[in-house]
Chains A and B, each alone.
Chain A
Amino acid sequence: MSETTTTAPASTTPRPPSRISRTFHILGLLRESPVGMFGAALILFWVAMAILAPLLPLYDPLEPLAPFQPMGAAAPDGGTFWLGTDHKGRDILSRVIWGSQRVLIWATLSTVVAYLVGMLMGSMAGYLGGWWDEIISFLSNVLLSFPVMILFVIIITLLGASGLNIVIAVTFASAPGIMRIVRGLILDLRTRDYVFAAQTRGESAWYIMLVELLPNARGPLIVDACLRLGYTVVAIATLGFLGLGLPPPEPDWGLMIKEAVPLGSFAGHAMVVPAVALSSLILGFNMLADGLREISLRD
């Protein structure tokens, strides 16, 4: 039934698929990859949790209720602590769900900023070439020669721990890698006919970079963005774990683990729950990227 409804309009309208459907064509193909579907499901689950957090019947993630309750314990007001409570008596289920919102917002924001910077750098290095390329590539090599976590620790030590500084740190760490990929793609695309056509029309270099080249480089970038979102989630959580991340008391997965580990001998669930949540989200990003790569290699 669903087959006929999806194919029927396509056969009656012979016009080429719209820009949006072409962009998401690859996501439609994802149905053929079980690994990718599973990854997408994991991500969708956490995104749904993050969006629905204010609507779900949860305890206040900041309110101390009853400390060290095990999983499924009864709450004082007659409810249930499905995943128990932490050392301050805060409901872990509520903190994990609110924590997903926080990590997803900051990871997305950081990745988007890193992408904007990386794509700009990459297009300039690839399209303008010459000294631009030399300087941008050298700066990227310098930044890429730092082990990532060391770069994070140095930047956060110098600037202090805050959301904005995490965005800056992620941009410094990720933009050089994005720049390299974009530069490679642009070097390949810049000899295409449509670029010559635009040059002959007298379009400016910025127009060609932003309107002609970048949209055509999106394929490999989607896979990379997916992986990078995963890395950024790891980075934000790791900084939280090291005490260099987003400031408390707002729930943060990394910080939850940091606080729970010293008490692990009698409240193990308080550290296991956020660790499992974090791992499942990263697994989602990696599996989705794997599925997308497999599909894009096929055609």
Chain B
Amino acid sequence: MLILTLRRLASMLLIMLVVSFLLFALFETDKLDVAGKVLGPYSSEEQREIWLEKNGYNEPFLKRYVVWVGNALRGDFGQSIQLKVPVSEVLGQRLANTGILALCLFLLMIPISLTMGIFAGMKEGSFRDRAISVTSVVTTSIPEFASATLLSAIFVFSLGWLPGTSSMSGGFDWKQLVLPVAVLLLYDLGYVARMTRASMAEVMTSQYIRTAILKGIPYRRVILKHALRNALIAPFTVIMLQLNWLLSGVIVVEVFFAYKGFGSLLYDAAVFGDIYVIEACTLVAVFVAVFSQFISDIGYTMLNPRIRF
């Protein structure tokens, strides 16, 4: 167990190292381009050279990379070109906003999708199973920005119940959270429900469940005490891995609803060419993705004694 944890940790660090090197190489190899982005397109060659010299860009590439990683580890990602504030400041604030979105999503998604999946998987092939399975295929098939379009056509433009943008410019307003969360929920719900269903259906066909039923234990008790314990191992992994998907999904949803979160920050930076923000956002996103994978691997091993070694 300890060895497994250490090995996972090592591979996680290695991936972060390679990713950070790739990012640095992709965005900062061309020094003059960096200076041009920071000082604007109308800066002169001389100004750029002076800026490069002043900011240590004339050091060898590898040395620059080491300094950059050191700064990033201390949370210093430089100054945003577009917003003129330290990247860490704006990133922290935006991550907190996306955190609110993610918290609402997970609080709703976990109970609903697990219930759907368990009810569908209890009796494979029954009408209830078919209905839940088809519903989850349909909701998962609608891309986030398409469901955002359809939901706003109904609730914003036809009924006028909800605001169409979620920029929170007039302070926090829960009404502005409804549509972004609903869009993410609609997409994610079906996926987790299907995974839960598959896991539940597999457990229900196993020998020990048949034995429990034949022993005359009440069906309710078989489900709650015997089946769920094993059926919920796989969904745990799937739910952890949703964090990776969420970081993709929030880009579209936050851009659509103008929500001031992590996704719209990265998108704006990409469009503007704000390289320091792009680097910081990507590093954070990959870290969250790799770390949630790590937690899910370790959690899976702890929950499932059969593969512990």
A binds B: yes
A138 to B14 Cα, complex, angstroms: 10
Bound: A35/B251 CA distance, A: 31
**Given the complex of chains A and B, what is the CA–CA distance between A167 and B289 in angstroms?**
24
A178 to B138, alpha carbons, bound, how many Å? 24
Enumerate chain A residues within 8 angstroms of B289, measured Cβ to Cβ: 145-147
Interface residues on A, range: 35 or more
Asked whether A40 is an interface residue with its Cβ less than 8 Å from the other chain, the reply is no
Interface: A223 (CB within 8 A)? no
* Complex-state Cα separation, A60 to B54, whole angstroms: 57
- Asked if A142 meets B15 with Cβ closer than 8 Å, knowing A254-B145, A279-B143, the reply is yes
Question: Contact mask A124-143 → B, CB, 8 Å, 1/0?
Answer: 00000000000000100110
Evaluate contact between A147 and B290: CB separation under 8 angstroms. Answer: no
| CB of A287 within 8 Å of the partner chain | yes
> Cβ of A286 and Cβ of B266 under 8 Å apart?
no
A6 to B255, CA, bound (A): 54
- Pick the contact of B143: A147, A153, A237 (CB < 8 A): A237
In contact, B149 and A147 (Cβ under 8 angstroms): no
Docked complex: B136-181 residues within 8 A CB-CB of A: 137-138, 140-147, 149-150, 152-153, 156-158, 164
Query: How far, in angstroms, from A153 to B251 measured CA to CA in the complex?
Result: 10
Task: Determine whether A108 belongs to the interface, using a CB cutoff of 8 Å to chain B.
Answer: no
Kindly report which residue of chain A lies nearest to residue B248, judged by CB atoms.
A149
Interface window among B85-93, B111-119, B211-219, B278-286: B278-286
Q: How far is the CB of B265 from chain A (nearest CB, A)?
A: 12
- The verdict on A234 contacting chain B, using a C-beta distance below 8 Å, is yes
Q: How many A-B residue pairs have CB under 8 A?
A: 127
Contact A278 B248 (CB under 8 A): no
Q: Are B285 and A146 in contact (CB under 8 A)?
A: yes
Q: For B22, what are the chain A residues with a Cβ–Cβ distance below 8 Å?
A: 142
Q: Which residues 275-299 of A sit at the B interface, judged by CB distance below 8 A?
A: 275-276, 278-279, 282-283, 285-287, 290
A4 at the interface (CB under 8 A from B): no
Tell me, in angstroms, the Cα distance from A162 to B142 when the chains sit together.
25
Which residue of B has the minimal Cβ distance to A281?
B141
**Binding site secondary structure of chain A:** helix
Give the contacts of A252-286 with B (CB-CB under 8 A): 254, 257, 261, 264-265, 268, 271-272, 275-276, 278-279, 282-283, 285-286
Chain B hits for A195, CB < 8 A: none
**Bound: A254/B15 CA distance, A:** 33
Q: Kindly state whether residue A243 has any CB partner on chain B within 8 Å.
A: yes
Closest to B255 in A: A242
In the assembled complex, A154 has its CB within 8 A of some CB on chain B: yes
Kindly state whether residue A8 has any CB partner on chain B within 8 Å: no
List, in ascending order, chain B residues with CB within 8 A of A268's CB: 153, 157-158
B273 — nearest CB in chain A belongs to which residue? A157
A238 near B: Cβ within 8 Å?
yes
Is B267's beta carbon under 8 Å from chain A?
yes
Which chain B residues (265-297) contact chain A, with CB distance < 8 Å?
Answer: 266-267, 270-271, 273, 278, 281-282, 285-286, 289-290, 293
Please name all residues of chain B whose beta carbon is closer than 8 Å to the beta carbon of A154 when the two chains form the complex: 26, 270, 278, 282
CA A287 – CA B142 in complex, angstroms?
Answer: 12
Contact A278 B153 (CB under 8 A): no
Q: Which residues of B contact A149 (CB under 8 A)?
A: 247-249, 251-252
The 5 closest A-B pairs by CB, nearest first: A149-B248, A283-B141, A147-B247, A275-B146, A275-B149
Residues on A facing B (Cβ under 8 Å) = 35, 138, 141-142, 145-150, 153-154, 156-158, 230, 234, 237-238, 241-244, 254, 257, 261, 264-265, 268, 271-272, 275-276, 278-279, 282-283, 285-287, 290
25 A-B pairs within 8 Å (CB atoms) are namely: A35-B134, A141-B11, A145-B15, A145-B290, A145-B293, A147-B245, A147-B247, A148-B248, A150-B266, A154-B26, A157-B273, A230-B141, A234-B143, A237-B146, A238-B144, A244-B270, A264-B153, A264-B156, A268-B153, A272-B149, A275-B149, A276-B150, A283-B137, A285-B141, A286-B137
